[in-house]
Amino acid sequence: MADAVLESLRAIGLYAAAMEPHMTAAPPERPNQIWGFAPVSAPDARVLVLGSMPGVASLRQARYYAHPRNTFWPIAGAVLGFDPALDYPARLAALQAARVALWDVLHACERPGSLDADIRRDTLVPNDFAAFLAAHPAILRICFNGAKAAALYRRHVLPTLPRALDYVDLPSTSPAHAAASFESKLAAWRRALTF
């Protein structure tokens, strides 16, 4: 069944390389080295949603926002009109059909556990946003899923980019950031993703 879904997505141009992890094992001297996923994007994407780096649950499952208490998929489903209980490939296809791309600021870093606060600053390797944005000229807005993603992007990526975009800081969907209610997060995300 999964193979049939992937073939269907490939056939209509919505296959995302993120469904196949491109991580390798960390070398023994760097046991906390982690690598992110490829972007999920259609060529006509208008909005790019950025996290900082996938958490442990996501890395284990090779899926964006895999932690069961992360509210990304329920929020995206409510805003974009799809069932967040769909299987993972179908959720990715729904994002792409809505012209929303998904990625992380970092390509690699060292981080024990899942907390952004534990990312070792001297190990940060940002993703190649210049190439990504050149390949996706319709992207007009970048939405940051949490303060850490915004800070990393503004410090390590923004100075290297040739074109201006609209940037929106959003409340994190991570279970570690439970101070804001689901309803307030949903309202902020709805404003950002529907423009």
Active-site residue list: 70
- Residues 6+ away with beta carbon under 8 Å from 107: 35, 36, 125, 126, 127, 128
Q: Which of 49, 103, 125 is nearest to 80 (CA)?
A: 49
In the chain, how many H helices and how many E strands?
Answer: 7, 7
Integer-rounded Cα radius of gyration of the chain? 16
Burial class (CB within 10 angstroms; exposed 0-12, middle 13-18, buried 19+) of 85: exposed
Q: How far, in Å, CA of 144 to CA of 148, rounded?
A: 8
How big is the CA angle at 88 (ends 90 and 12), to the nearest 5 degrees?
Answer: 35
The pair of structure tokens assigned to 90 is 């179908």
